[in-house]
Chain A
Amino acid sequence: MRRVLCLILIISSVAVHGQTIDQTLSFANTLFEKKEYSNAVEVYKRVLFFDQNGEYGREIYKNIADCLYNTEKFEDAANYYELAFFSESSDSVKNEINFLKASCYLILRQYDYAQIELLNLTDSLYSGQSRKRDYYEGMVYFAKDEFAASEKSFKSQVSDTTIIHKLFRKNDRISRISPKKAKILSMIIPGLGQFYVGDIKNGLNSMILTGGLFYLGIRAGLNNSFWEAGISTLPWFQRYYTGGFTKAEKIAQTKIKERRYKVYNQLLDELEKQPGSH
């Protein structure tokens, strides 16, 4: 029995062998093709772990980055795109990697980094890449409030620029909204700043609340004494009066963001309508 066991052990040690690095890579590529990105990334990382001579990195960095990009892990994706960029020799592919990195940084709202990636593009762009550059530049400039440059980039992507022009004029009107002006208006008459930015509900609310407290204070002053009115209602009035004009400024800032977001999405809608967008 002991001999049989020894024989089994010897045979199995010869017959059983681990998966080779090429087999692992092939399996990872199959998962990638099947769009099973979260599984693929783990297998690719296994390849990297056993790749002691650094032979496979060049081949798989971009795939790992693509997997992470598709699973919405944009920070990690940007790091792997960086590795892929430096292990790539073709300018065309390098440009594509730059676009993907710019996309990651835009989604992460790191606009300066996204802009740096666009500046890293080669001077002579390959087919389709100049339009892509305009697309990304349009977004980066818009996010950085550089609207004139953004308008130029957006206009270069559409055949009819009329709507883009109108949307950017609408955006100019948004820029004219001043949070400071809203604050000062609410200091003069509570609620006026909110009306100025188009927030009727909060404007009326502030007006009624502070107006009510003011009326209560005057009434208490006339019926009793102004000293008593000051003690009882002035702290409340002061609280909602200062709260009102502070809120007016914040509401203005929020309204600017809301409207700008709407215009930005309308601009993207226009790009979607372009022939070839699918």
Chain B
Amino acid sequence: MKMKYIVTGFLLLSLLLLKNDLKAQTKSEIGRHRNIIDDGNVKREYTEAKNNKNEIQVLFSGLFLFYKTFVSSQDQSVCTFTPSCSEFGILSVKQYGMIRGGMMTMDRLTRCNGLSPSNYELEKKTMLLKDDPREKKYVPIVSIVN
């Protein structure tokens, strides 16, 4: 009889002790740990093709997006510059217009060979050469021949 009381008492005590053990984690605690692993999302938004001011810019932005989606997406990263040649193209057309921007893009394409890295600043994060049409150049880009 005494044993029965001891067992009942022990079980009640265990239940009391385990009460908190059965408590689940709070939603906010779980929510905080939802992004602890990589979601694999590598999609890039092309801001260069946004905020078009005229039809020419819309047309070139469309061409740029088509190239980026269907052609460049199948290629390895081969450009030696940052921003890349296609990005340079759309940025220069937007800033300087179709003729000057187009000429600047042609010039850039001829320079995209990595043969004269000493003429450019290196972006350490990507290890690519910096050449941005939005930045004013005070020194013309020419090969230094001694």
Contacts and interface: CB of A to CB of B under 8 A. Distances in A.
B39 A139 contact: no
A107 B33 contact: yes
Interface of A: 103, 106-107, 109, 127-132, 135, 139, 142-143, 157, 202, 205-206, 209-210, 239-240, 242-244, 246-247, 253-258, 260-261, 264-265, 268, 271-272, 274-278
Q: Which 3 pairs, one residue from A and one from B, show the smallest C-beta to C-beta distance?
A: A257-B40, A127-B20, A128-B20
Q: Is the interface of A mostly helix, strand, loop or mixed?
A: helix
B36 A109 contact: yes
Interface stretch (B55-63, B66-74, B114-122, B127-135): B66-74
A194 to B, nearest CB: 10
Interface stretch (B2-10, B23-31, B101-109, B138-146): B23-31
B24 A276 contact: yes
Contact of A261 (B26, B27, B40, B42): B40
Interface size band for B: 20 to 34
Contacts of A142: 37
A127 B70 CA distance: 57
Contacts of B35: 107
B86 to A, nearest CB: 15
Contacts of A240: 74-75
Contacts of A205: 70, 73-74
Given A205-B73, A209-B70, A272-B30, A132 B25 contact: yes
A2 to B, nearest CB: 62
Contacts of A139: 33, 36
Interface in B73-123: 73-76, 78
Given A246-B76, A277-B25, 18 more contacts: A103-B29, A107-B35, A107-B36, A109-B36, A202-B74, A239-B78, A243-B74, A254-B40, A256-B40, A257-B38, A260-B40, A261-B39, A264-B37, A271-B24, A275-B24, A277-B24, A277-B27, A278-B26
B25 to A, nearest CB: 5
B53 interface: no
A107 B37 contact: no
B23 A276 contact: yes
A276 B22 contact: yes
Contacts of A256: 40
Contacts of B27: 272, 277-278
B1 interface: no
A256 B37 CA distance: 12
A128 B23 contact: yes
15 contacts: A103-B32, A107-B36, A109-B37, A129-B21, A142-B37, A209-B71, A210-B74, A240-B75, A243-B75, A243-B76, A244-B74, A257-B40, A271-B24, A272-B27, A277-B24
Contacts of B39: 257-258, 261
A257 B42 CA distance: 11
B104 to A, nearest CB: 24
Nearest to B17: A127
Contact of B36 (A106, A239, A243, A253): A106
A129 B41 CA distance: 34
A130 B138 CA distance: 66
